[in-house]
C-alpha cells in the first residue's frame, strides 16, 4: 500500500501551529530566512523552474515558466493568491488556511522575494469565514514579528499581505475572473492575451498562484531541488525530438470524497494510481467502483476500466481527463450517472457568469436536457431518420433503412460541444468554464451511454449493473486515444556516436 | 409610493466601528473601487441586507456610480437585496454532498422550519414566518470530506444527520 508523504500537511495537526511561536519551532520562516540569506531572487526562480513545480490550482501550468513571463521593469507588480476554492470535490486549501496559515505567508514571502513583489492579495472565498479569520490573525502576528511590512529582517524587502473576501461566485476562481473581482467588479473573466503575468490586476504585471503552489515554495527552498524532484515521476515528452523531461514532481493534496470509507485530504507523491488512492482512503464504501471523477467536477469521468490511470498531470491529460485541483469523487455501483450529471449540470448552469452567449444559454440548456432525461421525458421514439449511405442504385443517398436515434442524447452532445468542443479542445467562450461544462457532459454520455439510453427507454431513472452501464474500451472513442506516458529515466538514451 | 422609494429615503451610514474598518480597508488598494466587496460585506453586516440606500452610500464612499454597485451586488450570491432571517442556513447540495444524502437533511430542515427553499430572486420564500431563519441551497462549500454540511451564518456544521440538525436548531432557537 502506498504511504502518505506529508510535507505541506506535516505539522497540520500540531496544536496551535496557527500561532507564530509554535510555527517557528517547526522550522517556520527558517526557509524564508535561508532564501534571503543564501540566494538571489533569480536563483529562487531558477530553483522553482528546475524543481518542475506545476500550478496546483487546476491548469497544471509550470510555475517557473509563468514567473518568467513577468516583465521585471514594470512597477509595481502584484501577487494574487487564489484561495477561492470552489471546485466541487476540492477542500485542501481550507485546511491550510484554517490550521496552518503561516505556511502560506512564508510561501508568499518567498514568491515576493523572488519576483520583487511588494503587495499581495489573498483572495479568499466568502464562505471561508474561519479561514479568513485565522489568516488575518496570522498576518497580524507576522507584522508584529517583523516578517511583514517595511524592511523585513533588515534586508530592505517590503511586503504587505491583504486578505480579500469573495462573495460566493465560482467563476472568481478563474484567474482573470479573480482579478476583475479584486478590482471591485463582476467576476467576469477577461480575454487573453494579455495574460495576467503581463497585465493583470490594476493593469500591472500579476502573478496568480494557488494556495497549494505557494505552500510548496518553502520546501523547495528549504530542502533543495534534488530532494524535491525525487518525489513523483518525470515523464518523457515525446512531442519534441529528442524527448524532453516532463516533470510531475512533488506531492499533491488529494481530496477524496464520495463513496469511500475515510474521505479526507491525503498528501501523497504524484503518480499513484486511482485504485491505490481509493485504498489509501479506507477503501470503497460499496461493492464496486462504478466511476471516478479525478480532478474536481469539471474533469472528464473515469470508468472502472481506467482505475489503473496514474493520478498526475501528464497521465491524466493523456487519458483525456485532468488532475485539475485534485478533487477525487468516487461513485459506487448504486449511483446513477444521469442523476450525477444532472447535479453537476445544475451547478454549472447556476455558476455561469453570463458573459459569453454559448455558456450563458448553453449551460441551462444542457441542464434542462439532462433534467428531462432524468424525469423520464427524454425524447426517443418519434424520430426514426433515414439512414444515409450507399443506396441500391450505387449512389450516396437514402438507403431505405431507418435507424432509431435518441434525439436528446444527440442534442445533449451537440449543445455541449457547441459551448466547447471536447474533441478539438476549442472553446467558444472567453474562459475555460466552457470546457469545464462540456467535458463532464460529453464524457459521462460517451462512457455511460447505455445508462442514458435505458433511462430514456424506460421513462425513469434506471441504474444498470456496472458491466452493462459502461461502454467497453474498444468501442469508446475516448479510450482509443489513450496511452500511458513513459518515464524519462526509462528511455533509451541516444548513444554518442 | 413604492417600497423602493421609501427605502431610498431611509439613509444609511457606517457606524463608528465599521467606519474605522472601512478607512483601513480603503488604504489597501491603489484604487478605491477595489474595496467594493469587503465594503459591501461590511455594509451588509450592519444593515442586514443591501438596500438601495446602502448602495447609494457605498457608491459615494468608493466614488463610483450607484449602477456599478448594483452591478456587483446582483452578481454575487452572498449579497442579499431582500431581508433575510436572523440565521441564514446554507445547505450544500453539490455532488459530494448529494452522494452523502444531503437530500434527507434538506427535507428534514424544510419540515422542521416549515418553509420552502429560498431562490436568489425570492428570499422570502425560504424565510420562516417569525423571520428567524432563511433556508437556501448553495453550491459546494468545500467540505466534501465531512459531507453533508450546512453553514449557519458563519459556522459550519459537518457530517449531518436529521438528529444533528434537530440539535443545532434547538440550540439556535433556545
CA–CA separation, B149 and B91 (whole Å)? 6
The predicted structure's pLDDT at residue A348: 95
Please, where in chain A does CATH 3.40.50.11540 lie?
20-230
Would you report the helix, strand and coil content of chain B in percent, each value rounded to 5?
A: 50, 15, 35
Please, where in chain A does CATH 1.20.1440.230 lie?
337-389+402-480
Which residue from B37, B68, B151 is facing A127, i.e. has the nearest CB?
Answer: B151
**Contact state of A184 with B138 under an 8 Å Cβ cutoff:** no
* A20-230 CATH choice from 3.40.190.10, 3.40.50.620, 3.40.50.11540, 3.50.50.60: 3.40.50.11540
Reported as a single tens digit per residue, the pLDDT across A376-387 is 998 876 555 566
Protein fold of A337-389+402-480: de novo design (two linked rop proteins) (1.20.1440)
Full set of structural domains in chain B with CATH: 3-75 (1.10.10), 87-173 (3.40.30.10)
Q: What is the pLDDT along chain A (497 residues), one digit of tens a residue?
A: 788 889 999 999 999 999 999 999 999 999 999 999 999 999 999 999 999 999 998 888 999 999 999 999 998 999 999 999 999 999 999 999 999 999 999 999 999 999 999 999 999 999 999 999 999 999 999 999 999 999 998 888 999 999 999 998 999 999 999 999 999 999 999 998 999 999 999 999 999 999 999 999 999 999 999 999 999 999 988 888 888 888 999 999 999 999 999 999 999 999 999 999 999 999 999 999 999 999 899 999 999 998 999 999 999 988 888 998 899 999 999 999 999 999 999 999 999 999 999 999 999 999 999 999 999 998 876 555 566 666 677 777 776 666 667 889 989 999 999 999 988 888 899 999 999 999 999 999 999 999 999 999 899 999 999 999 998 877 765 555 556 777 877 776 655 55
Provide the residue count of chain B: 174
**Contact state of B95 with A347 under an 8 Å Cβ cutoff:** yes
Gap from B55 CA to chain A (nearest CA, Å): 14
Look up the ipTM and state it.
Answer: 0.92
Please, where in chain A does CATH 3.10.20.600 lie?
246-332
- Give the DSSP per-residue string, A449-469: HHHHHHHHHHTS-----HHHH
CA A184 to chain CA mean position, Å: 25
Q: Answer whether A278's CB lies under 8 Å from A290's CB.
A: no
CA–CA separation, A247 and A59 (whole Å)? 15
Q: Answer whether A441's CB lies under 8 Å from A425's CB.
A: no
**Contact state of A183 with B95 under an 8 Å Cβ cutoff:** no
Q: Answer whether B140's CB lies under 8 Å from A173's CB.
A: no
B152–A contact, CB cutoff 8 A: no
Reported as a single tens digit per residue, the pLDDT across A43-75 is 999 999 999 999 998 888 999 999 999 999 998
Supply the DSSP symbol for A183: T
Q: Name the nearest CA neighbour of A318 among A297, A334, A294.
A: A294
The predicted structure's pLDDT at residue A239: 80
Take residue B98 and report the three cell numbers written for it: 448529494
Reported as a single tens digit per residue, the pLDDT across B63-105 is 999 999 999 999 999 999 999 999 999 999 999 999 999 999 9
Class of domain A246-332: alpha beta
Q: Answer whether A417's CB lies under 8 Å from A425's CB.
A: no
What is the end-to-end Cα distance of chain A in Å, rounded? 43
List, in sequence order, every beta strand (DSSP E) within A349-395: 384-390
Chain B residue with minimum CA distance to A334: B99
Supply the DSSP symbol for B123: G
Q: Answer whether A495's CB lies under 8 Å from A413's CB.
A: no
| Torsion angle of the four alpha carbons A123, A129, A132, A136, in this order, in degrees rounded to the nearest 10 | 140
**Contact state of B139 with A185 under an 8 Å Cβ cutoff:** no
Amino acid at each position: 500500500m502506498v504511504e502518505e508523504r506529508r510535507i505541506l500537511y506535516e505539522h497540520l495537526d500540531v496544536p496551535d501551529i496557527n500561532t507564530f511561536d509554535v510555527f517557528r519551532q517547526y522550522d517556520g520562516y527558517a526557509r524564508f530566512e535561508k532564501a534571503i540569506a543564501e540566494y538571489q531572487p533569480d536563483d529562487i526562480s531558477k530553483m522553482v523552474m528546475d524543481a518542475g513545480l506545476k500550478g496546483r490550482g487546476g491548469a497544471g501550468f509550470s510555475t517557473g515558466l509563468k514567473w518568467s513571463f513577468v516583465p521585471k521593469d514594470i512597477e509595481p507588480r502584484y501577487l494574487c493568491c487564489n484561495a477561492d476554492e470552489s471546485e466541487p470535490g476540492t477542500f485542501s486549501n481550507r485546511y491550510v488556511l484554517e490550521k496552518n496559515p503561516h505556511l502560506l505567508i512564508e510561501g508568499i514571502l518567498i514568491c515576493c522575494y523572488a519576483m520583487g513583489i511588494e503587495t499581495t492579495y489573498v483572495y479568499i472565498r466568502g464562505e471561508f469565514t474561519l479561514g479568513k479569520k485565522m489568516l488575518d490573525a496570522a498576518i497580524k502576528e507576522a507584522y508584529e514579528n517583523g516578517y511583514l511590512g517595511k524592511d523585513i529582517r533588515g534586508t530592505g524587502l517590503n511586503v504587505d499581505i491583504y486578505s480579500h473576501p469573495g462573495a460566493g461566485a465560482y467563476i472568481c476562481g478563474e484567474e482573470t475572473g479573480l482579478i476583475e473581482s479584486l478590482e471591485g467588479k463582476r467576476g467576469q473573466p477577461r480575454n487573453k492575451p494579455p495574460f495576467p503575468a503581463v497585465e493583470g490586476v490594476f493593469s500591472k504585471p500579476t502573478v496568480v498562484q494557488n494556495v497549494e503552489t505557494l505552500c510548496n515554495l518553502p520546501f523547495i527552498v528549504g530542502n533543495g531541488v534534488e530532494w524535491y524532484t525525487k518525489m513523483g515521476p518525470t515523464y518523457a515528452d515525446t512531442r519534441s525530438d529528442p524527448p524532453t523531461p516532463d516533470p510531475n514532481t512533488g506531492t499533491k493534496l488529494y481530496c477524496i470524497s464520495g463513496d469511500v470509507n475515510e474521505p479526507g485530504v491525503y498528501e501523497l507523491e504524484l503518480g499513484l494510481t486511482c485504485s491505490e488512492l481509493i485504498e489509501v482512503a479506507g477503501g470503497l464504501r460499496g461493492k464496486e467502483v462504478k466511476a471516478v471523477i479525478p480532478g474536481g467536477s469539471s474533469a472528464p469521468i473515469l470508468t472502472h476500466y481506467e482505475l489503473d490511470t496514474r493520478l498526475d498531470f501528464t497521465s491524466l491529460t493523456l487519458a483525456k481527463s485532468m488532475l485539475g485541483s485534485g478533487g477525487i469523487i468516487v461513485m459506487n455501483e448504486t449511483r446513477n450517472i444521469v442523476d450525477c450529471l444532472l447535479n453537476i449540470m445544475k451547478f454549472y448552469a447556476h455558476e455561469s457568469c453570463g458573459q459569453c452567449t454559448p455558456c450563458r444559454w448553453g449551460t441551462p440548456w444542457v441542464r434542462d436536457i439532462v433534467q428531462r432525461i432524468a424525469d423520464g421525458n427524454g425524447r426517443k421514439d418519434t424520430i426514426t431518420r433515414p439512414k444515409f449511405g450507399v443506396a441500391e442504385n450505387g449512389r450516396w443517398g437514402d438507403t431505405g433503412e431507418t435507424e432509431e436515434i435518441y434525439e436528446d442524447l444527440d442534442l445533449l452532445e451537440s449543445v455541449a460541444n457547441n459551448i466547447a468542443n471536447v474533441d478539438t479542445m476549442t472553446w467558444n467562450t472567453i474562459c475555460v468554464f466552457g470546457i469545464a461544462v462540456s467535458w463532464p457532459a460529453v464524457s459521462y454520455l460517451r462512457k455511460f451511454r447505455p445508462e442514458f439510453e435505458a433511462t430514456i427507454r424506460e421513462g425513469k431513472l434506471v441504474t444498470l449493473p456496472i458491466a452493462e452501464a459502461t461502454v467497453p474500451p474498444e468501442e469508446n472513442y475516448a479510450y482509443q486515444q489513450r496511452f500511458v506516458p513513459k518515464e524519462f529515466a526509462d528511455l533509451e538514451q541516444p548513444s554518442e556516436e | 409610493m413604492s417600497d423602493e422609494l421609501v427605502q431610498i429615503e431611509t439613509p444609511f451610514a457606517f457606524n463608528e466601528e465599521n467606519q474605522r474598518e472601512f478607512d483601513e480597508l480603503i488604504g489597501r488598494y491603489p484604487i478605491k473601487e477595489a474595496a467594493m466587496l469587503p465594503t459591501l460585506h461590511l455594509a451588509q453586516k450592519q444593515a442586514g441586507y443591501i438596500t438601495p440606500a446602502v448602495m447609494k452610500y457605498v457608491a459615494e464612499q468608493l466614488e463610483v456610480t450607484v449602477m456599478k454597485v448594483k452591478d456587483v451586488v446582483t452578481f454575487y450570491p452572498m449579497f442579499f437585496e431582500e431581508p433575510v432571517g436572523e440565521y441564514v442556513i446554507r445547505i450544500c447540495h453539490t455532488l459530494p454532498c448529494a452522494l452523502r444524502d444531503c437530500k434527507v437533511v434538506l427535507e428534514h430542515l424544510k419540515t422542521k422550519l416549515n418553509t420552502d427553499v429560498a431562490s436568489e430572486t425570492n428570499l422570502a420564500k425560504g424565510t420562516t414566518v417569525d423571520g428567524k431563519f432563511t433556508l437556501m441551497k448553495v453550491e459546494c462549500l468545500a467540505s466534501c470530506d465531512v459531507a453533508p454540511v450546512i453553514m449557519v451564518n458563519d459556522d459550519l456544521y459537518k457530517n449531518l444527520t436529521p438528529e444533528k440538525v434537530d440539535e443545532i436548531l434547538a440550540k439556535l432557537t433556545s
